[in-house]
Amino acid sequence: MKDIFNRIKMTPGPLGQYRKFADGYFMFPKLEGEIKPVMRFNGKEVLTWSLNNYLGLANHPEVREADAQAAKDFGMGYPMGARMMSGDSIYHQKLEQELAQFVGKQTGYLLNFG
């Protein structure tokens, strides 16, 4: 049986092809520019499948303004994302209430997994 590290070195895999850009080490692909469905990677336009921007709102001015205001009000360490991981907040509950009202229901439950 060959040494696992030698096997990795000899068969670099999909990310290994980019190690020439990272001094011979394996690296993560570096996307360039604003978050959107088509971004630049190593100077070439590519489709972006890995971002949580399904509705295309990541760069919407109102979303960016709300994001900046939240960072100003609460800092960067305030619980965010999946409630199961980072905890519940009054903002999760408020969003549930607003979403329920929006669709004409008595209550709602937000299941977000960030």
- pLDDT (tens digit per residue) in 53-71: 777 888 899 999 998 998 8
* DSSP H or E stretch at residue 41: strand 38-41
Confirm whether 109 is domain-assigned. Answer: yes
Contact yes or no for 31/40 (Cβ under 8 A): yes
Average pLDDT over residues 74-88: 74
Mean pLDDT of 32-54: 82
> 46 to each of 20, 37, 38, how far by Cα in Å?
20, 8, 6
Counting Cα atoms < 13 Å in the Cβ hemisphere of 19 gives: 13
Residue 97 is predicted with a pLDDT of 95
| Residue 106 maps to a domain | yes
Confidence of residue 11 (pLDDT cuts 50, 70, 90): confident
Question: What does residue 90 show for φ and ψ, rounded to 5 degrees?
Answer: -65, -25
Q: How many domains does the chain have?
A: 1
Average pLDDT, the chain: 80
pTM of the model: 0.50
Residue range(s) defining the domain that contains residue 88: 79-114
* The residue type at 45: E
| CB neighbour class for 37 (10 Å; exposed up to 12, middle 13-18, buried from 19) | exposed
29 has a pLDDT exceeding 70 = no
Name the percent of the chain lying above pLDDT 90: 20
Token digits of residue 97: 């209430």
